[in-house]
Amino acid sequence: DTGVSQDPRHKITKRGQNVTFRCDPISEHNRLYWYRQTLGQGPEFLTYFQNEAQLEKSRLLSDRFSAERPKGSFSTLEIQRTEQGDSAMYLCASSPPIGGTEAFFGQGTRLTVV
Amino acid sequence: EDKVVQSPLSLVVHEGDTVTLNCSYEVTNFRSLLWYKQEKKAPTFLFMLTSSGIEKKSGRLSSILDKKELFSILNITATQTGDSAIYLCAGYITGANSKLTFGKGITLSVRP
């Protein structure tokens, strides 16, 4: 499968624990996005990478959230000290270099904080 | 602040009906408008519209963009139960900090 891959698909964690999600974009896609989606809402932008550089972070991304893309390939999103309000679907998308703007989404990681 | 508004938020139709889904946007440095279909999991890409007045078609689905009035519509003809999904539109901004800004989505239910 050469699509965007996310791991894990589901995560249940206790409040206060740290969680980390991984996203592997489509090969040669240099742009990578993280979005969060809650029930009844469209995806909300969290952060954006071009290669390894994190170019933008949403105000939604509190200090408990951090994202990395160390070698410009896969990316990780970490949430520290999870809260129940963090329960959501976390979507990763990638798009090719300038000239292509379609973003292709992974299957998402559904986080449930209990 | 960039904004994308979709209407209606939900819609129930019967198989065979034609539906029109609306999307209006206020996006700085606008480059294109994208439509996605989301069933239970990730959004899947439908259309990307960059130029006004040029209709894009894929089977029973078609979409068009009006850059003067800042809106787009997605039409689905002869709807089928498999069209039941959330339809998302997103404005894409160009530049160094490119990103997609999504609307809340339109939940379409097609009944047999």
Phi and psi at residue A86, in whole multiples of 5°? -80, -10
Mean pLDDT for chain A overall: 91
d(CA A102, CA A54): 19
Distance from chain centroid for Cα B106: 8
Radius of gyration of chain A from its Cα atoms, rounded to whole angstroms? 13
Whether residue A14 is predicted with pLDDT greater than 80 in this model: the reply is yes
Whether residue A97 is predicted with pLDDT greater than 70 in this model: the reply is yes
Q: What is the pLDDT of residue A39?
A: 85
d(CA A37, CA A44): 6
Residues on chain A touching B100 (C-beta within 8 angstroms) = 33, 43, 45, 93, 103
- Paired residues of A105 in beta bridges: A93
Whether residue B38 is predicted with pLDDT greater than 80 in this model: the reply is yes
Range of lowest pLDDT (B41-50, B57-66, B103-112): B41-50
Q: Beta B10-14 vs B106-111: how paired, if at all?
A: parallel
From the CA of B112, how many Å to the nearest CA of chain A? 24
Q: What is the pLDDT of residue B69?
A: 92
Nearest to B42 among A44, A91, A102 (CB): A91
Q: What is the pLDDT of residue A56?
A: 85
d(CA B106, CA A101): 22
Whether residue A17 is predicted with pLDDT greater than 90 in this model: the reply is yes
Q: What is the pLDDT of residue A100?
A: 55
**Looking at chain A from residue 25 to 64, which residues have their Cβ under 8 Å from any Cβ of chain B?**
31, 33, 35, 40-45, 48, 50, 55-56
d(CA B17, CA B85): 15
pLDDT digits (tens, 9 = 90+) for A25-45: 998 888 999 999 998 888 999
Mutating which of A10, A37, A50, A51 best tests the B interface, going by the most B Cβ atoms within 10 A?
A37
Residues on chain A touching B32 (C-beta within 8 angstroms) = 101
Q: Do B97 and A48 touch (CB under 8 A)?
A: yes
Nearest to A105 among B43, B92, B101 (CB): B43
Q: Is B91 on the interface with A (CB under 8 A)?
A: no
Q: Do A102 and B45 touch (CB under 8 A)?
A: yes
User: Three-state SS for A79?
Assistant: strand
Quote the Cα angle for A65-B40-B30, to 5°.
Answer: 60
